[in-house]
Amino acid sequence: MSSSLAIHPVHVVLTVSKYEMVFGEYLTFIRQKTRALLILVFLHSFMINRIYLSSNHPFATPQTIESIAHSSLAEMRFEGRISFENLEFAARDFGNRYHLMPSAVLHPKSVSDISSILRYVYDLGLSSELKVAARGHGHSLEGQAQAYRGVVISMESLRDPEMSFHGGKHPYVDVSAGELWINILHESLKRGLPPRSWTDYLHLTVGGTLSNAGISGQALRHGPQINNVYQLQVVTGRGEVVTCSDKQNTDLFHAVLGGLGQFGIITQARIALEPAPKMVKWIRALYSDFSTFARDQEHLISSNNSFDYVEGFIIINRTGLLNNWRSSFSPKDPIRADQFNSDGKLLFCLEIAKYYNPRESDNIDQDIDTLLSELSYIRSTLFMSEVSYVNILDRVHVSEVKLREEGLWEVPHPWLNLLVPRSRIHEFVAEVFGNIVKDMSSGPVLIYPVNKTRWRSGTSLITPDDDVFYMIAFLSSAMPSSTGKDGLKHILSQNKKILSFSQRPYLGIKQYLPHYSTEEEWEAHFGPHWEVFYRRKLSYDPLAILAPGQRIFRRGIAYVQQ
Ligand code: FAD
């Protein structure tokens, strides 16, 4: 199902241009007049919408919102169901620090359920402050999928369409945006055609990761997940159902990719596939010098014949590190590996993987030896493992199961993700790991470069200006009752110091999964792209109904922070 977008000034200008040759000078005159008029109309709508986007309606009170939510919504008919009880799950997320209670949760069965509720809320206009948040798997960190006193749409209920696979030269799968990547992996492997780009953890929804970017170690070959989608179906903040792609409704397509849920709810996605490998050689090796480590990582992501996955992490002050690896990796040189002492050092671990099929395994070892011979890691620290393709992709879930057993999965996760330009990475590492972070007992710190030259441009994702930039992810878990270095207070204060350094404008560092509280901070995050982001908001969600938990366009919500 698709419908055309509302008439936009730009569309009118384009239509005028098309007939200009036929009507000659007459039309040139009209066009000048029309342009002037359009600018006035646009400015007028901009001013009105600016009021819509940033202020409270004077007559709406929490009581009227509650009563609208309960009486009118309860009378609506859905193919799925709307619920006003047992809503606590929708006020939680992986970050486990923000708990914003909605008034209702919609469990949609069809796209028209989503379109109906958005049309209904849009038609309430300024008489209501009701907001709507799509919730994927709720793995946000700071309440981004929550809606205080609003409606949360639980996207996992949407099973429309059933996954449908298509072969040919450019194979793809059509999926519901509420689908988990892990389910797509299992289904796609039955056909030998999995998606090309992943996140490190697969129990996330398609709509949730496409609203951010979906970056991981496979990005060196295929770019992030937002690069590997051919087409989307989106329900805008006006309730319109729109199909969009690089060729059709392109502005909306680019807007929602990395769009933090601001322009529409993604309901379907067409995802690019590639032939599946069966097995993976998974390799780790250590460096004690950051410059050598960074040079090798950058070499690997820039060469054509390289590994299929390149990531890395930082090790601070760990004892017995290599011994811990032995449960899943084997040392290439066991005797020298035994003699290596990691105690107290700042180390950098390269993590790489090469995919293969068993019948090619003779060649694969040779290929890997050749690739490794170009690198300058500490020779005694090379560890290798052979795992199935599924096992490497679903590796974080193994840790999840263990942490859940110990009651350590549902703790606060004050994560901080930064994108650091290559030109500033040495300065960043020297300051952050020399002066701020002295210990990382609270969780891993990932560090790896990506090369954005082949990434899709024009999306809403904000990255540093350099073509190569580093993903630095501080993935902390806070121990609930700890007042020490693994306690929430200490980690938040450390994050604050890292952020205060990183926000120096000359560094050009950007947050990934960004989190800010004021419009000024968001403007600074988007920089010169803010105007486009704002213009798109006016086009697709002029009443600022969608994804209020991102706190970009606020309508005066009283946020509750624990
Ligand atoms: P939610 O948290 O439910 O939603 C995220 C945002 O998107 C919200 O604003 C929500 O309103 C909006 N949204 C959700 N669904 C839709 C939709 N259908 N249409 C429009 N908007 C929607 N990210 C990476 O890039 N790479 C990684 O390797 C990576 N690893 C991770 C590992 C773990 C353990 C966790 C918890 C997160 C990881 N992430 C990673 C971050 C992850 O991509 C984001 O947190 C993502 O938002 C989670 O997806 P979700 O389905 O739970 O979305």
Q: Answer yes or no: 66 catalytic.
A: no
Q: Closest residue (by CA) to atom 31 of ligand 1?
A: 201
Residue with the smallest CA separation from ligand 1 atom 24 is 214
| Residue having the nearest C-alpha atom to atom 27 of ligand 1 | 199
Cβ-Cβ contacts under 8 Å for 491 (sequence gap 6 or more): 414, 442, 476, 478, 485
Mean predicted confidence (pLDDT) in 344-353 = 93
How would you classify the pairing of strands 164-166 and 151-154?
A: unpaired
Q: Candidates 176, 202, 212: which one to mutate for ligand 1, based on the most atoms within 8 Å of Cβ?
A: 212
Highest mean pLDDT of the ranges 49-58, 66-75, 528-537: 528-537
Say how many Å lie between the CA of residue 82 and the centre of ligand 1: 23
Q: Sorting pLDDT into bands at 50, 70 and 90, what band is 561?
A: very low
Distance CA 29, CA 304 (A): 54
21, pLDDT greater than 50: no
- Which of 209, 227, 401 to mutate to test ligand 1, by most ligand atoms within 8 A of the CB atom? 209
CA distance readout (Å), 125 to 193, 264, 334, 379, 544: 45, 17, 69, 65, 10
The sign of the dihedral angle between the CA atoms of 192, 198, 203, 209 is negative
Report which protein residue has its CA nearest ligand 1's atom 53: 208
Span from the CA of 208 to the centroid of ligand 1 (angstroms): 4
**Mean pLDDT value across the chain:** 87
When pLDDT is cut at 50, 70 and 90, the band that residue 37 belongs to is: very low
- Tell me the per-residue pLDDT of 218-266, one tens digit each, with 9 for 90 and over: 999 999 999 999 999 999 999 999 999 999 999 999 999 999 999 999 9
Taking the C-alpha atoms of residue 245 and residue 263, their distance in angstroms, rounded to an integer, is: 15
The pLDDT assigned to 235 comes to 98
* C-alpha closest to that of 538 among 47, 37, 11: 47
pLDDT tens-digit readout, 355-379: 999 887 778 999 999 999 999 999 9
What does the block give as tokens for 537? Answer: 């908001």
Residue ID of nearest Cα to ligand 1 atom 12? 261
Work out the average pLDDT over 147-157: 96
Nearest atom of ligand 1 to the alpha carbon of 135: 3
**pLDDT attached to residue 322:** 78
The catalytically annotated residue of 179, 296, 308, 311 is: 311
d(CA 446, CA 473): 5
pLDDT band at 156 (very low <50, low <70, confident <90, very high): very high
270 DSSP β-pair partners = 174, 231
- Spacing, Cα 517 to ligand 1 middle (Å): 19
Q: How far is CA 220 from the centre of its chain?
A: 17
Note the pTM of the prediction, 2 decimals.
0.88
- Minimal-distance CA residue to ligand 1 atom 43: 209
* The residue to which tokens 């792609």 are assigned: 245
Q: Are 463 and 421 in contact (CB under 8 A)?
A: no
- Would the pLDDT of 27 be above 50? no
Q: Distances from the Cα of 256 to the Cαs of 5, 67, 212, 309, in angstroms?
A: 15, 31, 9, 26
Tell me the CA–centroid distance for residue 216 and ligand 1, in Å: 13
Q: Whose CA is nearest to atom 35 of ligand 1?
A: 139
Given the CA of residue 550, which atom of ligand 1 is nearest to it? 9
pLDDT score for 29: 36
Instruction: State in Å: Cα 207 to ligand 1 middle.
Output: 8
Beta carbons of 433 and 472 less than 8 angstroms apart? no
Rounded to the nearest 5 degrees, what angle is found at the Cα of 115, between the Cα atoms of 114 and 120?
A: 100
Q: Which residue has the higher pLDDT, 30 or 529?
A: 529
pLDDT at 41: 38
Q: Letter for the amino acid at 185?
A: L
Q: Which of 126-130, 383-387, 555-559 has the highest mean pLDDT?
A: 383-387
The minimum-distance atom of ligand 1 relative to the CA of 134 is: 11
337 CB-near residues (< 8 Å, 6+ apart): 322, 331, 380, 381, 383
Strand partners, 172: 166, 272
Catalytic residue among 174, 200, 400, 519: 200
Percent of the chain at pLDDT exceeding 70: 86
Residue at 157: amino acid letter: S
What's the 206 CA to ligand 1 centre distance in angstroms?
Answer: 8
Radius of gyration of the chain (CA): 25
Q: Ligand 1, atom 17: nearest CA belongs to which residue?
A: 207
**Rounded to whole angstroms, what are the CA distances from 491 to 42, 114, 268, 346, 515?**
46, 39, 38, 19, 16
With cut-offs at 50, 70 and 90, classify the pLDDT of residue 513.
very high
Instruction: Please identify, by atom number, the ligand 1 atom nearest to the C-alpha of residue 396.
Output: 34
Residues 6+ apart with CB under 8 A from 31: 13, 16, 17, 20
Tell how far the Cα of 303 is from the centroid of ligand 1, in angstroms: 30
Q: Which atom of ligand 1 is nearest to the CA of 546?
A: 11
Distance (Å, whole) CA 344 – CA 312: 19
CA atoms in the 13 A half-sphere facing the CB of 347: 24
What tokens appear for 217 in the block? 């170690």
Cis check: omega of the bond before 548, within 30 degrees of 0: no
Q: In this model, does residue 283 exceed pLDDT 70?
A: yes
Residue 200 is among the residues annotated as catalytic for this protein: yes
Instruction: Give me the pLDDT at residue 186, please.
Output: 98
- Percent of the chain, pLDDT > 90? 75
Residue range 453-467: mean pLDDT, rounded: 96
pLDDT at 62: 55
The protein residue with its alpha carbon nearest to ligand 1, atom 16, reads 207
For residue 555, what pLDDT is reported? 59
Region of poorest pLDDT, from 221-225, 336-340, 427-431, 488-492: 336-340
Most confident listed range (64-68, 283-287, 553-557): 283-287
Output the CA 209–ligand 1 centroid distance in Å: 4
The number of the ligand 1 atom at minimal distance from the alpha carbon of 266 is: 19
Q: How far is CA 70 from the centre of its chain?
A: 32
Annotated catalytic residue, options 93, 137, 139, 142? 139
Average pLDDT of the segment spanning 386-410: 96
Residue 400 known to be catalytic:
no
CA of 370 to the centre of ligand 1 (A): 37
Q: What is the pLDDT of residues 310-340, one digit of tens each?
A: 999 999 877 777 777 877 899 988 888 888 8
Q: Comparing 59-68, 196-205, 297-306, 494-503, which segment has the lowest mean pLDDT?
A: 59-68
Strand ranges across the sheet with 81-83: 81-83, 104-107, 151-154, 132-135
Ligand 1 pocket (Cβ < 6 Å) reads: 93-94, 133-140, 144-145, 155, 177, 199-201, 204-205, 207-209, 211-216, 260-261, 265-266, 396, 513, 547, 549-550
State mean pLDDT over 80-84. Answer: 97
Kindly report the protein residue whose alpha carbon is nearest to atom 5 of ligand 1.
208
The Cβ of residue 319 has, within 10 Å, a number of other Cβ atoms equal to: 10
pLDDT at 4 over 70: no
SS3 state at 496: helix
Q: How far is the CA of 473 from the centre of ligand 1 (A)?
A: 15
Q: 104: helix, coil or strand?
A: strand
Ligand 1 pocket mutation pick from 114, 205, 220, 515 by most atoms within 8 angstroms of CB: 205
Most confident of 41-55, 70-84, 277-291: 277-291
What's the CA angle centered on 324, arms 318 and 325, to 5 degrees?
110
